[in-house]
Amino acid sequence: MTADPLALLVELDRATRRVLATAETLTDPSAASALPGWAQGHVLTHLARNADGMCNLVTWARTGVPTPQYPSREYRDKGIEAGAGRPLPELIADVRDSAQRFASAAADLPAEAWTVELALPDGAQKAAMIPWRRLREVEVHHVDLGAGYTSADWPESFAHRLLHDVSKDRVGLSLTLVPDSLGHPVQVGSGGGPTVSGPAHALAAWLTGRSSGSDLSVDPAGPLPTVPDWK
């Protein structure tokens, strides 16, 4: 998947403003989020620490020195748990400040550094994919806050890109997706199998475990396939 990092940074700025606006409407960060076992404070803390992790990747691209997003999965999880119980104003400020740190680091990255290849745990990727990885986190976890923002609120361009992105890593699935707003089907796995149709945002939400898929149709008629956990 190709990426225009500068264009995606503009989209990311809009997405960040949207999630911050939603965070401002919250009243109790200990309230349950849409993610099992996570309160809204967990989701906000994860968004902040993810931004810091993306700054690490930008540093890697700029310096050439391997700088992992997180030192380990355990480090990531402990950081989220440690920050989840903070007061709401502190959580919101953390999301805002960490997002600004990432935006500044990305804006200062020399043009040639976007072509640097990073050896990431999920496969080597060029630094140009960093803004997409961050945008994906912000939009998907905005839904996870469970505060009124749903996949139907995703910009259409984001929903299409996410759908193509996640269709590549759904191991064990073989099906054909038919988004209403696209002029072509999207194959998952080897294709074949059932055909699942509906809005692009609803298909992407189902594939990422953010929807039961009740707003989708399947041919031949029957239950939707079970999707593996995502991220």
Q: Are 154 and 199 in contact (CB under 8 A)?
A: no
Computed from CA positions of residues 92, 75, 114, 63, in that sequence, does the dihedral angle turn out positive or negative?
positive
Same domain, 145 and 171: no
**Assigned domain for 156 exists:** no
**How much is the pLDDT for 149?**
98
Alpha-carbon gap, residue 118 to 54, rounded angstroms: 12
Same domain, 194 and 110: no
Same domain, 100 and 168: no
Average the pLDDT over 141-166 and give the result. Answer: 96
pLDDT digits (tens, 9 = 90+) for 31-68: 999 999 999 999 999 999 999 999 999 999 999 999 99
Q: How many residues are given for the chain?
A: 231
pLDDT digits (tens, 9 = 90+) for 103-127: 999 999 999 999 999 999 888 999 9
Of the three residues 97, 120, 149, the one that is the final residue of a domain is 149
Is pLDDT above 80 for 190? no
Q: Which domain holds residue 176?
A: 163-219
Of the three residues 125, 149, 173, the one that is the final residue of a domain is 149
Average the pLDDT over 136-161 and give the result. Answer: 97
Q: Are 159 and 200 in contact (CB under 8 A)?
A: yes
Is pLDDT above 70 for 208? yes
Alpha-carbon gap, residue 38 to 43, rounded angstroms: 7
Of the three residues 122, 149, 176, the one that is the final residue of a domain is 149
Same domain, 39 and 100: yes
Average the pLDDT over 71-80 and give the result. Answer: 95
**Assigned domain for 59 exists:** yes
**Assigned domain for 173 exists:** yes
Same domain, 136 and 61: yes
CATH number of the domain encompassing residue 126: 1.20.120.450
184: exposed, middle or buried (C-beta count within 10 Å: 0-12, 13-18, 19+)?
exposed
Is pLDDT above 90 for 151? yes
Q: What are phi and psi of 35, to 5 degrees?
A: -95, 125
**Assigned domain for 226 exists:** no
pTM: 0.94
Same domain, 90 and 201: no
**Assigned domain for 145 exists:** yes
**% of the chain surpassing 70 pLDDT:** 97
Beta pairing partners, 217:
197
- Helix, strand, coil shares of the chain, percent, nearest 5, are 55, 10, 35
Is pLDDT above 60 for 195? yes
Average pLDDT along the chain: 93
Average the pLDDT over 151-166 and give the result. Answer: 95
Alpha carbon distances (Å) from 68 to 100, 106, 135, 168: 20, 16, 18, 23
What tokens appear for 76 in the block?
């990531």
Average the pLDDT over 176-181 and give the result. Answer: 89
Alpha-carbon gap, residue 104 to 27, rounded angstroms: 30
**How much is the pLDDT for 1?**
56
- Total domain count for the chain? 2
Is pLDDT above 90 for 69? yes
Is pLDDT above 70 for 153? yes
Lowest-pLDDT range, 3-7, 66-70, 167-171?
A: 167-171
